Chain A
């Protein structure tokens, strides 16, 4: 009995310490989310605001070709960006993990520094590089690669570059945290047992860094559908993502319920991805986040 009393007391103490955290999460994460879901089933008022009438119209609207196309384009862009990010980020993260202490710190530092400036400002940097007669054009002219300006700004490739640039560090850190735990003697054992370098990579290195790679994919694929300001700044009005659509519906069209339903779909997509990640990698936490 005495024992149980002790346990209870300990439990009480534990609850008290974490209670503020739960309240915070409830208030600022779960609360808005519930609000959003509820909102997505309500009716838009004629001019401004919401009418408390339940409807499925918002979800039916998403089925319209123009919006479906936006989803499709967003997914396409996300796939292209993510593939590029994997192609650059995986080897980068892997070899970063293999660096010696001093260089590891330096490279980590170089990756961290950009985070100290606003991502918006860094994006404007890309405008300077991409615009007609900008840094890139001048460089390519000087190297006699091109004569005419490339007119890269406000194009699809510019948006892809922006996405890759903004999200690459997440992939690098995710792969890095996985690769750092990889015991290199396992690769040697594979080679010793008859595997070619490529076979050893596929059966050992890739398998053991898969959790990092997959969490990198989740961390880049989902945001690249929603980072509307990248599409805005580098794509002009030519590239419209789900993120842009939500922003437009919310800020310009004032159609809050429709914006909410779009967000719910995006949230659902994200959840599916995280579910798949857990299924495939068997890991509960996203690697590289902690």
Chain B
């Protein structure tokens, strides 16, 4: 395709013998907002640094705008980064920080001043030209860092947990603003976060990372609704994972059983044979707890808690797996110690590949 801005091909990287990236593939189109989502240490930052040219991959290729740039110096790439700690130059004022990229390119002073002005109004910091970074608040520094990267009109903007240091309210506000900027400028964003909510609200596509591999790359809806692996289901949707063996198949509905009992799920295009072990992701708000039901997985209520408008009931299934059910509202007749069965509609259980964090 013509509008592919970035293509990572089988990138591998290890640091002093410890593999950090184990064969990464990713393409980003013009104007796309892609989020790399994963826990700390999964290799997101290394991926970003390789795209920026601050790190060289051991294997694989980095293609920018169709050209192989694997070995190119950072300053030769049409890519800019918003660093996690902002990395504003402490000895320069806001104007000099933002204008740095243009000054390095020896653009005329007047033009730099004009461009900086435009950038400042874009990030809503008009009038802050002469301030030093030490005189700015966290949110303002963030804006300067973004303006400093955007002034170069990169084809690709890399953002390494740019909102990580901000408080929740400011975070929400900056999320909106970043999204607005990205839409307005039409620049491809590669965004790193470990916050699944942030990823779900902002991204066009999410790449969920675990141990230097992509577990799944897809739209927020895909990743949320049809997680590929148990890790994705847990990390993105906070889903419960249950295990069992396939019993029988009727068209799309597959019945499985475990020591806790029997339930069914939708095959979602996967093929199953009786006797095959299966891993399922079931979200807490889509399962019900019933006393004296015929089918379902049997367990005992362990704990009841109320948080964020949701009632959470933790059940220990007979096969020692924990299952958390959540419901709106506070009323529940269930008490710890009650024997219950966990039941759900087949379309609410999603078969996934078993993939766990190595720890």
Indicate whether B56 reaches chain A with its CB closer than 8 angstroms. no
Indicate whether A196 reaches chain B with its CB closer than 8 angstroms. yes
Q: How far is the CB of B169 from chain A (nearest CB, A)?
A: 27
B 134-146 binary contact with A (CB < 8 Å = 1; else 0)? 0000000000000
A188 adjacent to B149 (CB under 8 Å)? no
Indicate whether B232 reaches chain A with its CB closer than 8 angstroms. no
Q: How far is the CB of A101 from chain B (nearest CB, A)?
A: 16
Indicate whether A148 reaches chain B with its CB closer than 8 angstroms. no
Q: Find the B residue at minimum CB distance from A193.
A: B101
B87 adjacent to A194 (CB under 8 Å)? no
Within 8 Å by CB of B89, from A191, A192, A197, A204, lies: A204
A185 adjacent to B105 (CB under 8 Å)? no
Instruction: Give chain A's interface secondary structure class.
Output: helix
A208 adjacent to B91 (CB under 8 Å)? yes
Indicate whether B81 reaches chain A with its CB closer than 8 angstroms. yes
A193 adjacent to B83 (CB under 8 Å)? no
Contacts of B25 in A (CB 8 A): none
Q: Find the B residue at minimum CB distance from A191.
A: B74
Q: How far is the CB of A121 from chain B (nearest CB, A)?
A: 43
How many chain A residues touch the partner (CB < 8 A)? 18
Indicate whether B228 reaches chain A with its CB closer than 8 angstroms. no
Q: How far is the CB of B69 from chain A (nearest CB, A)?
A: 14
Indicate whether A129 reaches chain B with its CB closer than 8 angstroms. no
Indicate whether A46 reaches chain B with its CB closer than 8 angstroms. no
Cα of A208 to Cα of B81 in the assembled complex, Å: 21
Q: A199-B104, A208-B91 are in contact. Are A194 and B75 (CB under 8 A)?
A: yes
Q: Find the B residue at minimum CB distance from A183.
A: B87
Q: How far is the CB of B159 from chain A (nearest CB, A)?
A: 12
Cα of A203 to Cα of B97 in the assembled complex, Å: 11
Cα of A207 to Cα of B91 in the assembled complex, Å: 8
Indicate whether B58 reaches chain A with its CB closer than 8 angstroms. no
Indicate whether A186 reaches chain B with its CB closer than 8 angstroms. yes
B85 adjacent to A193 (CB under 8 Å)? no
Q: How far is the CB of B63 from chain A (nearest CB, A)?
A: 19
Q: How far is the CB of B51 from chain A (nearest CB, A)?
A: 11
Contacts of A194 in B (CB 8 A): 75, 101, 104-105, 152
B 92-124 binary contact with A (CB < 8 Å = 1; else 0)? 000000001100110000000000000000000
Contacts of B148 in A (CB 8 A): 193
Within 8 Å by CB of A196, from B75, B91, B101, B149, lies: B75
Indicate whether B165 reaches chain A with its CB closer than 8 angstroms. no
Cα of A234 to Cα of B85 in the assembled complex, Å: 52
Cα of A188 to Cα of B158 in the assembled complex, Å: 13
B 335-351 binary contact with A (CB < 8 Å = 1; else 0)? 00000000000000000
Q: How far is the CB of B242 from chain A (nearest CB, A)?
A: 44
Indicate whether B356 reaches chain A with its CB closer than 8 angstroms. no
Q: Find the B residue at minimum CB distance from A195.
A: B104
Cα of A192 to Cα of B54 in the assembled complex, Å: 8
B74 adjacent to A188 (CB under 8 Å)? yes
Q: How far is the CB of A272 from chain B (nearest CB, A)?
A: 25
Indicate whether A15 reaches chain B with its CB closer than 8 angstroms. no
Q: Find the A residue at minimum CB distance from B101.
A: A193
Cα of A188 to Cα of B100 in the assembled complex, Å: 13
Within 8 Å by CB of A191, from B73, B85, B88, lies: B73
Contacts of B54 in A (CB 8 A): 188, 191-192
Contacts of B100 in A (CB 8 A): 190, 193, 195, 203
Sample of 7 further A-B pairs with CB below 8 A, known A193-B80, A199-B104: A183-B85, A188-B83, A190-B104, A191-B53, A192-B52, A194-B101, A196-B75
- Give me the interface of B with A, judged by CB distance under 8 Å: 52-54, 73-75, 79-81, 83, 85, 87-91, 100-101, 104-105, 148-149, 152
